[in-house]
């Protein structure tokens, strides 16, 4: 991946999301995420966290303001450009995201198969390597509904980190997950940041990221009055 | 108790409620709705119904053009799209061959052999080929193949995509740049199109051969099968060579497109209880529409 270094990776510039479209408070959201940074966003309501991640991905209509990713305003892009740009986002979401008619291994590499020309062998090798690093014995080939919640969390992590994405929107996979996921998750986050990816880690409770606090560049809280900066002690 | 009883809700009928007020008290006459108001409400109801149906029709037209347009663009055919196309086509054709052949055989027994028998009996055996082409292959086969496609795979697509839409998986796909139209609607519709043609030809051949075999066994005809098939081929006009395959192709196309769009346009208020009947009725309507349109013009 060529690292992006021409300014903020993601920028919310007085973006007021449409309430009807998102359920987010129609107030101004502003923040900047530089390449290599890791930002914590604390959101008590998981559906609101998902919508905030959608806002960052250009999926939410704006009343005013703008949201830019890699210097490009989502609102000014055509469908094809939008999709290509979103292909550079790795995401772990609490919203249902596994299609039942597709086996899990295909679901893991689907985004890469769609957006890149990397060979299948290469993708499978990366999927196996990442699956093992997240504590799986290999890439699951069964239907996603047959996996346990813990394994589904693991494969969601594998999918999000596949293919060196530029931006990671991670709705906390550690909450309720197994403790052994912790180290592999943090090492994957660190690896991604080292190569210039930006990370937005959406959490419900601030307990999960405390041991990684040295690596956190900023902390925010998603409240009724928008995105509020939280001072770190 | 005053002696009056009123059933139902408050005395303010909404658009969707029947304008019915039951009162037993003779001293309090029922509040009547003026005729013009009643007409206005009925017209509004018809208007809503027409708007809803027309909306789907317009969506089908737009998406149909989109499928044709995108299918000629090389970079629409990414690996994921090719995978979905091949998988769907294998499912439809592989799973539908036996059903189509069997339905063709039944049609052969019920229609083809009867046509041969009665035309032979009335001395109109020369018309056998043209009647078989016009009735069985041109009219019955596309409709029956359409119904088979709709029941076996069209409803499955409507349900699968509907559940993905309601469950949020479609939005999740969009959020990482995978367009559901390109990933699901385009390949599935084209797979249905190819399958419609393939199964239609198999159905037609199966019905003709079964009809011939039945007639031969009962002694109604004595010609060899090649002569019989040659008679049928000779009865086909140049237009038939274009219209019959086109009809099979169109039926597959609209069944696939209708099923996918019914699923993708599902709302949070939908469930299998609403999706399945809607998908089936829409599918039947568009199959019949295609059949009628081709019969009217050509």
ipTM: 0.92
Which residue's entry shows tokens 């509904």? A145
Helix B113-121 and helix B186-217, axial crossing angle in degrees, nearest 10: 40
Q: Are A111 and B178 within 8 A, CB to CB?
A: yes
Instruction: Give pLDDT tens digits for B204-247.
Output: 999 999 999 998 898 888 888 888 899 888 988 888 899 999 99
Mutate to test the interface with A, among B66, B77, B79 (most CBs of A within 10 A): B79
User: Rounded to the nearest 5°, which phi and psi values hold at A73?
Assistant: -75, 125
Contact B58, B261 (CB under 8 A): no
Position A69 pLDDT exceeds 90: yes
Which residues make Cβ contacts (< 8 Å) with residue A139, sequence separation at least 6? A104, A105, A108, A124, A127, A128, A131, A158
Average pLDDT of the residues in B271-298:
87
| Homologous superfamily of A10-230 | P-loop containing nucleotide triphosphate hydrolases (3.40.50.300)
Using 50, 70 and 90 to split pLDDT, how confident is the model at A233? low
pLDDT per position as a tens digit, B127-169: 888 888 888 888 899 999 999 999 999 999 999 999 999 999 9
Closest CA to B245 of B144, B113, B141, B168: B141
pLDDT in tens, A150-190: 999 999 999 999 999 999 999 988 886 677 788 899 999 99
Q: Which two tokens stand for residue A76?
A: 């000014």
| Matching residue, tokens 């049609």 | B107
Look at residue B6 in the predicted model and tell me its pLDDT. Answer: 41
B161 CB neighbours in chain A (<8 A) are: none
Cβ of B177 within 8 Å of Cβ of A59? The answer is no
DSSP H or E stretch at residue B256: helix B238-264
Q: Considering CB atoms only, which of B171, B176, B183 is closest to A87? A: B176
Is residue B27 very low, low, confident or very high in pLDDT (cuts 50, 70, 90)? low
Backbone dihedral angles phi then psi of residue B80, each to the nearest 5 degrees:
-65, -35
- Mean pLDDT computed over every residue of chain B: 86
Q: Which of B78, B163, B171 sits opposite A114 (nearest CB)?
A: B78
Residues belonging to chain A with any Cβ–Cβ distance to chain B shorter than 8 Å: 53-54, 57, 59, 79, 82-91, 93, 95-101, 106, 110-111, 113-115
Residues making up chain B, counted from first to last: 298
Residue A226 confidence (pLDDT) above 70: yes
Query: Would you place residue B5 in the very low, low, confident or very high pLDDT band (cuts 50, 70, 90)?
Result: very low
Q: Which long-range contacts (CB under 8 A, 24 or more apart) does A212-215 make?
A: A212/A38, A212/A186, A215/A38, A215/A186, A215/A189, A215/A190
Mutate to test the interface with A, among B74, B167, B176 (most CBs of A within 10 A): B176
The closest alpha carbon to A109, from A165, A156, A162, A170, belongs to A162
Quote the CA–CA distance of A214 and B45 in Å, as a whole number.
63
pLDDT tier for residue A12 given thresholds of 50, 70 and 90:
very high
Among A96, A106, A107, A120, the residue to mutate for chain B (most B Cβ within 10 A): A96
Chain B residues with beta carbon closer than 8 angstroms to that of A88: 177
Distance from CA of B177 to the nearest CA of A (A): 4
Contact A91, A49 (CB under 8 A): no
3-state helix, strand, coil in chain A (%, to 5): 40, 25, 40
Pairwise CB contact (< 8 Å): B177 & A86: yes
User: Closest partner residue to B80 among A84, A91, A114, by Cβ?
Assistant: A114
Would you tell me the crossing angle of helices B186-217 and B141-149 to the nearest 10 degrees?
130
Whether B178 and A53 lie within 8 Å, measured CB to CB:
no
Residues of A in contact with B168 (CB under 8 A): 95-97
- SS3 of residue A15 by DSSP: strand
Q: What confidence score (pLDDT) does residue B33 get?
A: 81
Q: What does the pLDDT average to over B80-99?
A: 94
């Amino acid at each position: 991946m060529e690292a992006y270094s021409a300014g903020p990776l993601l920028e919310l510039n007085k973006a007021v999301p449409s309430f009807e479209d998102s359920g987010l408070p129609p107030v101004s959201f502003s923040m900047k995420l530089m390449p290599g940074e890791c930002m914590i966003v604390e959101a008590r309501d998981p559906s609101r966290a998902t919508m905030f991640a959608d806002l960052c991905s250009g999926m939410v209509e704006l009343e005013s303001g703008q949201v830019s990713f890699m210097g490009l305003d989502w609102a000014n892009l055509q469908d094809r450009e939008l999709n290509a740009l979103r292909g550079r986002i790795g995401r772990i979401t609490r919203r249902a995201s596994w299609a039942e008619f597709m086996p899990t291994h295909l679901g893991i590499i689907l985004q890469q198969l769609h957006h890149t020309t990397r060979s299948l062998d290469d993708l499978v090798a990366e999927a196996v390597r990442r699956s093992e690093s997240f504590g799986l014995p290999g890439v699951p080939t069964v239907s996603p509904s047959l996996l346990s919640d813990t394994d589904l969390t693991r494969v969601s992590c594998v999918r999000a980190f596949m293919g060196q994405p530029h931006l990671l929107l991670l709705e906390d996979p550690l909450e309720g997950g197994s403790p052994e996921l912790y180290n592999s998750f943090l090492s994957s986050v660190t690896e991604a940041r080292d190569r210039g990816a930006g990370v937005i880690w959406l959490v419900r409770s601030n307990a999960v990221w405390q041991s990684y606090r040295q690596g956190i560049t900023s902390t925010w809280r998603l409240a009724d009055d928008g995105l509020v900066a939280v001072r770190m002690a | 108790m005053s002696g009056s009883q009123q059933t139902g809700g408050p005395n303010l009928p909404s658009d969707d409620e029947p304008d019915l007020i039951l009162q037993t008290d003779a001293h309090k006459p029922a509040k009547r709705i003026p005729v013009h108001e009643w007409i206005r409400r009925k017209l509004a109801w018809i208007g809503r119904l027409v708007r809803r149906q027309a909306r789907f029709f317009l969506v089908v037209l737009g998406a149909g053009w989109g499928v044709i347009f995108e299918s000629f663009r090389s970079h629409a055919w990414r690996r994921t799209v090719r995978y979905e196309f091949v998988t769907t086509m294998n499912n439809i054709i592989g799973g539908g061959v036996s059903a189509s052949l069997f339905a063709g055989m039944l049609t052969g027994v019920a229609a083809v052999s009867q046509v041969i028998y009665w035309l032979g009996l009335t001395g109109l055996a020369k018309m056998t080929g043209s009647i078989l082409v016009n009735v069985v292959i041109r009219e019955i086969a596309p409709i029956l193949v359409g119904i088979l496609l709709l029941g076996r795979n069209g409803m499955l697509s409507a349900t699968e995509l509907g559940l993905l839409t309601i469950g949020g998986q479609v939005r999740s796909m969009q959020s990482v740049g995978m367009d559901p139209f390109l990933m699901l609607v385009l390949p599935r519709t084209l797979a249905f199109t190819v399958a419609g043609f393939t199964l239609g030809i198999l159905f037609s051949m199966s019905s003709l051969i079964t009809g011939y075999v039945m007639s031969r066994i009962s002694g109604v005809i004595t010609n060899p099968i090649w002569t019989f098939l040659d008679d049928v081929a000779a009865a086909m006009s140049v237009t038939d060579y274009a219209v019959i395959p086109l009809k099979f192709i169109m039926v597959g196309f609209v069944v696939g497109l209708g099923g996918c769009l019914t699923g993708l346009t599902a709302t949070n208020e939908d469930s299998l209880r609403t999706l399945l009947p809607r998908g089936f009725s829409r599918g039947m309507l568009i199959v019949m529409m295609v059949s009628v349109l081709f019969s009217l013009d050509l």
